[in-house]
Structure formats: structure tokens, C-alpha cells
């Protein structure tokens, strides 16, 4: 008979076989590292401490394999809180996931509209497109792009006006003061909250986009994309500073 606990690499999961019923932890491996993604203990096994047994066996296996650990799974995260002897397995910085994600507030010019973002932006940089220039009446727009579900309106929802010239960008502003707040990019499922409005947030730009339309050169050494990087659906082509 096979060991009750084993690493099923074909299915990318650690399995614990309890009388023919399998509880498991799914993972992604890369050389020297592992991310624990999700734990499932069938309800038939509930109330027998199987989850803890599986958690312990999984973390022992990670230790035996000498892999640096990242945890996406809430179950394992909670298990590790109760069993801190496994914390040394965590990859550098991975334990930061344990801390509540930071959130930042942005408000319009008059303060009637308030938006909150949580976590970290997916991209942060500067946009030089003609639309951003025309809408903001400024040469460059400092953007921070967040996943739609990490952005929420905390005040003045009814005060928000929306204008879209294209299907890509729904630009949102305060109807009272005209201050710009954010741009929804539904196709990318990302929302650009204007970096300068976010209080306490440190804008850490990593790129310039739509540099082909620039009216201002910025010699900061960051990559200058002609349009957009390929991850955002662009050509990925770069231009000189």
C-alpha cells in the first residue's frame, strides 16, 4: 500500500489518503521554491484533525525538499500562525502576506468623492497618451493601476460623473468640483487611480506608456513604451528616453 501522505507531482498536490478519501494541498513548484495554493479536506473527513495533519505533513515535505515557501492558501497561513516553527520555511518577504494589506484613500479636489485602494498596484508609471493630456490638461498622467476588486468608492458615489471616448477608458470625475479621480479600464479589469491623489501612497513608477505621443521628455532611465507593454495588450516596443 502507498504511503498515506505523498507528493503527487503529476497533479501538483500533496495528498493525504484517509481510508481512500483524499485530502490535499495544491501547489506550484519552481526550481528551489514552492507556492501552496489551496487546501481541500473533504467534508467526510471533517472534525478529525485531518486538516492539521495534512498541514503538518505538507510543511515537513516542503522542509525535506528544501524549497523556499510562499503561501497563497488561507488554511496553511492560519495553520502556520498556530505553528510558528514552520515560519523559517518562508521565502524572503513572503511572510509580509500575513500582514493586513495597506490601503490608501484618494479624494477629488473638493473632497465630495473618496476612493479607497487596497494592496499594491499591478502597474505604476506615467502615461503620455493624447487622451490623458487632453483630459487632464497636463503633459503627463501619473497612473497607478489596481485590480478592479481592490478599488472601492467610500464616499460620494452619486457625485461621480463618467465620460468615455473609447471602450477602453471610462474617465471618472467629481460632478461638483470637476476633479479627476480615476479611470476604469474594463477590458483590462484594471482601474487607474491617479497616483497624486492617493494619500500616504508612495508612487514607485516602473515604466512610461504611450511615449510616442509625448510632449515632454522624461530622462529618468525607466523603460519608455511606444504604446503599452505586451502584458497590457500593447506592442511591447520601446523608445529611447
Point out which residues bind Zn ion (CB under 5 A). 108, 110, 112, 127, 129, 132, 174, 176-177, 179
Residue 82 Cβ, how far from Zn ion at the closest point, in Å? Answer: 47
Residue 107 Cβ, how far from Zn ion at the closest point, in Å? Answer: 8
216's CB contacts (< 8 A; 6+ apart) are 128, 139, 140
Nearer to Zn ion, 22 or 177 (CB): 177
Decide if 115 contacts 182 (C-beta within 8 A).
yes
Residue 167 Cβ, how far from Zn ion at the closest point, in Å? Answer: 15
Residue 133 Cβ, how far from Zn ion at the closest point, in Å? Answer: 8
What is the gyration radius of the CA atoms in the chain, in angstroms?
23
Cα torsion through 201, 204, 209, 211, rounded to 10: 110
Nearer to Zn ion, 54 or 140 (CB): 140
Report how far residue 25's alpha carbon sits from residue 21's, in angstroms, rounded to the nearest whole number.
14
56: number of Cβ within 10 Å: 16
Residue 34 Cβ, how far from Zn ion at the closest point, in Å? Answer: 39
Nearest to 147, CA basis, from 190, 185, 183: 190
Nearer to Zn ion, 21 or 134 (CB): 134
Nearer to Zn ion, 25 or 142 (CB): 142
Nearer to Zn ion, 132 or 188 (CB): 132
Structure letter (DSSP) for residue 46: T
Amino acid at each position: 500500500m502507498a504511503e498515506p501522505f505523498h507528493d503527487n507531482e503529476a497533479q501538483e498536490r500533496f495528498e493525504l489518503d484517509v481510508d481512500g478519501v483524499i485530502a490535499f494541498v495544491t501547489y506550484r513548484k519552481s526550481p528551489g521554491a514552492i507556492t501552496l495554493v489551496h487546501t481541500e479536506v473533504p467534508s467526510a473527513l471533517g472534525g478529525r484533525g485531518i486538516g492539521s495533519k495534512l498541514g503538518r505533513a505538507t510543511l515537513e515535505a516542503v522542509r525535506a525538499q528544501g524549497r523556499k515557501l510562499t503561501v497563497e492558501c488561507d488554511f496553511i497561513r492560519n495553520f502556520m500562525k498556530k505553528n510558528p516553527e514552520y515560519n523559517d520555511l518562508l521565502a524572503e518577504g513572503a511572510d509580509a502576506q500575513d500582514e493586513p494589506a495597506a490601503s490608501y484613500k484618494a479624494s477629488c479636489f473638493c473632497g465630495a468623492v473618496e476612493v479607497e485602494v487596497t494592496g499594491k498596484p499591478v502597474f505604476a508609471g506615467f502615461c503620455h497618451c493624447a487622451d490623458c493630456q487632453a483630459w487632464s490638461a497636463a503633459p503627463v498622467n501619473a497612473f497607478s493601476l489596481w485590480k478592479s476588486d481592490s478599488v472601492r468608492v467610500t464616499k460620494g458615489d452619486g457625485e461621480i460623473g463618467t465620460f468615455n471616448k473609447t471602450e477602453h477608458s471610462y474617465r471618472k470625475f467629481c460632478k461638483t468640483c470637476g476633479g479627476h479621480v480615476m479611470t476604469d479600464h474594463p477590458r483590462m479589469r484594471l482601474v487607474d487611480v491617479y497616483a497624486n491623489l492617493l494619500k500616504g501612497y508612495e508612487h514607485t513608477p516602473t515604466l512610461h506608456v504611450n511615449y510616442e505621443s509625448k510632449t515632454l521628455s522624461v530622462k529618468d532611465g525607466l523603460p519608455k513604451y511606444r504604446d503599452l507593454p505586451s502584458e497590457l495588450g500593447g506592442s511591447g516596443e520601446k523608445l529611447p528616453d
